A and B are shown apart, each in its own frame.
Chain A
């Protein structure tokens, strides 16, 4: 080894640890609600903490909570990019255009937008197949309702929410053809007072199952107060309402995905992609089904979960008609992702209209 190569390898040796000690990778998170909402934002924040724990000193995280969707989001994301974030997770649908706008100005920063459909070289999207969980909820709800009336607190009329309503309804009416759904549009992701009002109104109207697509635990509390009503945890386990009203839940587990993507940034292998994971990949989890559910219903529900996870069964399998009676899926046909991602119609049997 001559002197020159020695020097060169010394330089590489010196440079390598210097690179490793280079500023820790900074991961930023933009939340739509407060981290203590007990639902959607809470789970994203749990995943952020999991990222911190997994990487230790190698990764630093920052977050901003309760960021309004719109002009304020552009500023919040920009400031986060300016503060040196290497990857930014924007965790609500309404951040789509703001994320695209900021991403165009910061080509070196990676962006991950939850539940949207626009991508760029430095923007990925990710979402979970919550409708798989909704199928299991619908099955339990349809089997357990005594009044045959199920209330549904919906947030915004976007495809993700409409998919959930359709999936829950299809599987509830499969076990109980007499079941009726009442959908209330709350126009909010997080507003405990409004959510509680909606739940109380639904219960007063004879609905003995309350499904929710909003993020607070207020509907759970309202159901507990009323007694004899069952609910499902949304986005988070909401275990404090076990064993009843909360009889099961859909849990969003973002941690593996976040760790994976931050690792990709560290390795320099990050690439733009569109990810839609379900029960199989573990992004959607079904929380404990409590003793309040009859044993046979529980077993059916778990069997359904297995079938969905293995890909043996798709929650949208024909024959399914649209609400207006026109045919959507023929016998045995399954829905394609494109239609599901843009779903803007109810399936046959649901009453009421999607607001427009």
Chain B
């Protein structure tokens, strides 16, 4: 019979092999699903994983798009991973992302149509502050009153969405927009535009920020006492307390960083790829980033790779819809399979499979 036996220590091999195994397993299961939908499975898998990178017709456009799509995911996931390591569950990155976009865009639009090199840095700062402030609400409620940060941060997403709807059709509405909701297009205003730094590479300031965040977090976690405190708080809360780590400070630091990074992601998105504040500006990056954080094992480099992989399934999924006519829902199903397989395969990190004979049982 087959039994699962707990490992004394999490397997180092499986920690890294699990995501790869999950991807392979997803390809097999997903292939079966596409076959059931009447699409050649190999072709579908090739379209999703290969074509965005190497198809001569699309690749020159979709390769840079990978960075555009992965940038905000990585930036948000990096911030979330700090909290997740310390056992602080910030589920509301979507709200922090929205508030960052609103504050950043709003701070800039207050000076429209001025032209100054100072406007963009000021907007970056306002964006980070907006996200930070929104994350401080669950942080302070948790440290002062012991509320649950999962619920508070999640509920604040809906509040942020309502504020977004309100400012798009009120405060930030484009006065020249014929009464339609949505702000001015920031990309058409040089001082506030977050355009590509090098043409046709997809590199905008948000992608740069994501790479910088990966490096800084790596240094923080491996070289800095605060990184050690964060890991300790998550792995051994009692030991952390004995060694003088203040839980409240860790909460404030983790939520604050996550909020600021999500706010930055929102600002870079609104001033770059999206261009304007609109009622449904947010498209779920804050929630998808949670998946990216776990897919990347909460490790900065892992998150970088996971963000790129997630972006690949998005863009490849779009190509599959376009070229093969598969329904949009099947792509979401495919992404769901990826997470499901990862969680399933993850069992082997902490357990080993043992085959024993029936009579010994």
Contact = CB atoms under 8 A, between A and B. Distances in A.
A94 B325 CA distance: 23
Interface string A3-26: 000000000000000000000000
Given A34-B329, A62-B325, A83-B57, A71 B166 contact: no
A187 B321 CA distance: 26
Given A79-B61, A79-B319, A158 B180 contact: yes
Contacts of B169: 156-157, 354-356
B181 A70 contact: no
A82 B61 contact: yes
Contact of A69 (B68, B170, B280): B280
A71 B186 CA distance: 13
A157 B318 contact: no
A342 B322 contact: no
A78 B327 CA distance: 19
B274 A157 contact: no
A124 to B, nearest CB: 17
Interface in B199-225: none
Contacts of B274: 70-71
Contacts of B68: 71, 75
A78 B61 contact: yes
A289 B220 CA distance: 69
Given A82-B58, A342-B178, A344-B179, A70 B278 contact: yes
Interface string A96-116: 010001000000000000000
A178 to B, nearest CB: 30
Contacts of A344: 179
Interface residues of A, number: 40
A187 B165 contact: yes
Interface in B281-338: 281, 283, 315, 318-319, 321-323, 325, 327-329
A87 to B, nearest CB: 15
A76 interface: yes
Interface residues of B, number: 39
Interface string B48-65: 000000000110011001
Contacts of A79: 58, 61-62, 318-319, 322
Nearest to B276: A97
A151 B325 CA distance: 38
A187 B65 CA distance: 28
Contacts of A69: 278, 280
Determine which residue in A70, A74, A80, A187 has the highest number of CB atoms from chain B within 10 A of its CB, and name it.
A70
Interface string B157-197: 00001000110011001000011110001000000000000
Interface in A166-218: 185, 187-188
B166 A356 contact: yes
Contact of A71 (B161, B269, B318): B269
Given A70-B280, A71-B68, A94-B278, A64 B318 contact: yes
Given A75-B318, A159-B180, A66 B278 contact: no
B273 interface: yes
A156 B181 contact: yes
18 contacts: A62-B322, A64-B321, A64-B322, A65-B328, A68-B280, A70-B283, A71-B272, A74-B273, A75-B68, A82-B61, A83-B57, A101-B275, A117-B180, A159-B180, A187-B161, A188-B280, A342-B178, A356-B166
Given A62-B325, A82-B61, A93-B180, 18 more contacts: A62-B322, A62-B323, A63-B325, A64-B322, A68-B280, A70-B278, A70-B280, A71-B68, A72-B283, A75-B65, A117-B178, A156-B169, A159-B178, A187-B280, A188-B280, A343-B179, A344-B179, A355-B169
Interface of A: 34-35, 62-66, 68-72, 74-76, 78-80, 82-84, 93-94, 97, 101, 117, 156-159, 185, 187-188, 341-344, 354-356
Q: Which 5 A-B pairs have the closest CB atoms?
A: A344-B179, A71-B273, A356-B170, A342-B178, A66-B328
